[in-house]
Structures are given as structure tokens and as C-alpha cells.
Copies of this chain bind each other. A is one copy, B any other.
Amino acid sequence: MSPNGCPPSGSTPPGHAMYALAKRLFPICRSITGNGFRRSLEIIAEYIPGLKVFEVPSGTQVFDWTVPKEWNIRDAYVIDPSGKKIIDFKNSNLHVMGYSTPVDQKMSLDALQGHLYSLPEQPDAIPYITSYYKERWGICLSENQRRSLSSGEYHVVIDSELKPGSLTYGEVVIPGSSEKEIFISTYLCHPSMANDELSGPVVVTELIKYLFASSDKEKLRYTYRFVLIPETIGSITYLSRNLKQLQKNVIAGFNISCVGDNRCYSYLSSRAENTLADRAALHALKFTDPNFKRYSFLDRGSDERQYCAPGIDLPVCCITRSKINEYPEYHTSLDDLNLISSEGLQGSFDVILKAFRCIELNEYLKIKVLGEPQLGKRGMYPTISTKDTREQVEDMMNFIAYLDGRLSTLEIADKINTPLWSLEETIAKLKKHDLVESVASPLPSNIDNVVELNNTIKNIV
């Protein structure tokens, strides 16, 4: 990684690369199983090395769940009483309820109504509806179109297939110096929608590309594990096959979704609320945009539900922009390529990279001299004094003032209200001048501690 945790300049701006990939993936009809998911993984594999694809057979027991049948769809349409094809899967794959059973049937408008789904409050939008665990079929359309239907006989065709097959997911591992891991999960099971969800996979693809390039130059401190899975059943399946390993190695994890728009940044806490992942995410976000939104674990809605479940207890939080459920276009045809932008994707890429950087830079350091070190004699003071250098010196002195091996570098950066990544040069200089030593574990803390008072007294009465 470059020192400030940002991508090297000069190459194609990753924001544009990410947007281009989203555009390419957009038309594919994905679901929690099936060829749309597989095809999307194939395309992503063109951009990055090391993607492994796994297939888990339908019927496999995964914790309390069962891997469902595989669903595939070739075509679907509705022909109205006048013979006109008024609904066509080729125009929008949202027209078909996900996991619809096959149908080829003529029926009255009344009978058809029982299978139609629309949004009265968003009359222009086609809703995104699925029925994974109860077999049925449905047609989704705009409320305006629905209102325009006249009575008569309709012909409905859904040329789909629901039968034993397998659930597919992808995994990429970038080895670091330590077997300890940073774990990143995103899902790839939604049909043509841009913020929820293609923004997640395309940002993750770019992160993988970037980290591989970085690790080619210098090995990363931690191993990075990325998974691209179907939501819920995918994380349950993945966990059921990898839980022990994850619990042993993962020190921080992030669920990435809805990272493509440019409206705001958001954070959703892990269940444990104060893990290294939470600290790093909060640190990266607050120094990127102090107005980022904070959500509690009670607002959760994606795979963090599984990663943080009792007994799983992984340190996983979410970095998002407009969060699922919280923006008007969510789960409708309005969540299209106009909703996301190169800038939106780039901002998310940058902030996630900063969170990674915080974890890479996090350690326990202890200053080796007593009292303040004399930095002038080591040339660690700037020779000319400007507002910038004054702030830099102040940050450096504040950082040194807390280097007692009790707070980690990330905790100190929070304490002194300075981005950890901006202290990278200071840390390097302190190490170069042999002014600090690493300690394996935090020394007993006397900060913020009422007990301290009691202990002080105890010895003297």
C-alpha cells in the first residue's frame, strides 16, 4: 500500500474501472443459485487472480438450513388480451419474482392479479421480489402499468427451472506475513440493481486487484480473505464449512454492500460493538466525512446477521453508503446505473482501504526514553516552521506522549484526534531512530481508570 492508504496515482482511476465493471455485470439475471451467479463470477475472475469457485450441492445441511434447489431462467413474458407482449423478461429481469416456478398458462386478469406485485407508493418502479423457500410464481411490474391492464385473457410464460443443482460462491485469499486475517464479504445474488448490489462486488474486485498489486511490492502484514456469496444462505453455507478457521484467524471483518452512491457514508456496528473492525471503520469514516451515519446492530439486514450470530461471534461490521432499506430506490428498478457513480465507488474504495491501513498500522509501541525525547538532535523537527509543520509536530508530540504500550496506535490516534494513516511517517521515523519498541500485548492501563485512584490510596493509608 502507498503510505497514505490511497491508490497510486497515474493509473486509470479505479472509480471508472469499477463503474465499467458494474455496467458489464448489470444485465445478468443473478439469484442465490444458478448460472447468472456463475457467469458473474467468471467475469470478475477476468479482473483478478486467484478466484476459487466452490459449488455446494442442493440439499446439503448448513447449520439450521438446507441448500435450496438451483434456479435458472431462460425467458418470461406476459401477452395481453390484444396479443401484445406487455411484460418481457428481456427488458428487465426484475419482472420475474426470484425463484418463480415455471408457468405457461392462460388466465383472466382477476386470476393474474393474484400473481402480480407492484408498489402503489412508487408507481413507476418495478419491485424486486423473491420467494426462495416457498414455491410459487410471480410477475413484478410498475403500479402504473398494472393500473392500465384491461380485463380479458392473459398468457403468462415463465420458462424457468427449479431442480437439484448447487449453490456457488467465490473466494480469494491474499497471503500476508501473518496467518491472521482481515475478512471481507460481499454478495452477488441480486438481478439488475446497481447500488444494492453490484457496487459491493465491484468495489471488492478493485480492492483485491489493489491489494495483490501492493503485496507484489511488499508483503502485507495480514492475510486478506474475500468472499463473493449469495446473501444469507451463502454466508450460512460458507460459515458452516469454514467456522473454526475463521474464528481462529479473523481479527477484523467487513460486510460490504451499497457502496456505490455518493450521498453519504454509513457504518453499522458489529454485535460486539467495539471490535478492531468497528474501531478501524469508525476511525476511517470519521476522518473521511465527520457527518457519516452511525447505525446500531439493531439496524442490521445483511450477512452481518450471520457473522455476528451467537456462537459465530466474528468481529464483522459494515461500511456502506446509503444503507439497505434506507434509500427510496432500494429493491426496485430505480436502483439502476444512474444511482451509482465513479465518485461514489471511488470514495468507498478509499475509505475501506483506510480501514485496512488502520489495522495494518495498529500495534503496541513503547517509547524507549524517559521524559520527552530530544527530537531536534535527530532532525525530527522541521527546519522551517509553517502552520502545516506546526500541526505535524503537535501530532507527533501528542502521539509520543501516549506511547506507553498501554494504548494501541489506533487507540492513540483516536485519542489525539488524528488519522492513524497520517502518523505513518512519524512511526517510521521513531522506529528508524530506535526510539520505540513493540510490545506483544498491552501493558496494564492506567488511563481512564477510577480504580487507579483507589489503588493509589490503598498503598498510603
CB distance from A363 to the nearest CB of B (A): 6
Is A133 interfacial (CB 8 A cutoff)?
A: yes
Closest chain B residue, CB of each to CB of A440? B461
Q: Contact string, A291-317, partner B, CB cutoff 8 A, digits 1/0?
A: 000000110100001101111110100
- List residues of chain B with CB within 8 A of the CB of A374: 64-65
Residue pair A452, B370 in contact (C-beta under 8 Å) = no
Number of A residues with CB within 8 Å of any CB on chain B: 76
A17-25, A190-198, A399-407 - interface stretch: A399-407
- List residues of chain B with CB within 8 A of the CB of A65: 371, 374
- List residues of chain B with CB within 8 A of the CB of A236: 371-372
Within 8 A of B (CB), among A354-372: 362-364, 366-367, 369-372
CB distance from A311 to the nearest CB of B (A): 5
Residue pair B454, A240 in contact (C-beta under 8 Å) = no
- List residues of chain B with CB within 8 A of the CB of A447: 271-273
CB distance from A365 to the nearest CB of B (A): 10
- List residues of chain B with CB within 8 A of the CB of A371: 63-65, 235-236, 239-240, 306, 309, 312
Closest chain B residue, CB of each to CB of A438? B461
- List residues of chain B with CB within 8 A of the CB of A242: none
A78-86, A161-169, A274-282 - interface stretch: A274-282
CB distance from A272 to the nearest CB of B (A): 5
Q: How many copies does the complex hold?
A: 3
Residue pair A310, B402 in contact (C-beta under 8 Å) = yes
Interface residues of A (CB under 8 A from B): 63-65, 133-134, 178, 180, 232, 235-236, 239-240, 243, 251-252, 271-276, 279, 297-298, 300, 305-306, 308-313, 315, 362-364, 366-367, 369-374, 376-377, 398, 401-405, 408, 411, 416-417, 438-442, 446-450, 452-454, 456-461
Instruction: List 13 interface pairs A-B (beta carbons < 8 Å), by A numbering.
Output: A63-B371, A133-B376, A180-B459, A180-B460, A251-B457, A252-B456, A274-B453, A275-B452, A312-B371, A313-B404, A408-B457, A438-B461, A442-B457
CB distance from A64 to the nearest CB of B (A): 4
* Supplied contacts A272-B446, A272-B447, A305-B372, 10 more A-B pairs, CB within 8 Å: A180-B459, A251-B457, A271-B402, A274-B453, A276-B457, A298-B398, A311-B369, A408-B453, A441-B454, A441-B458
- List residues of chain B with CB within 8 A of the CB of A456: 251-252, 275-276, 315
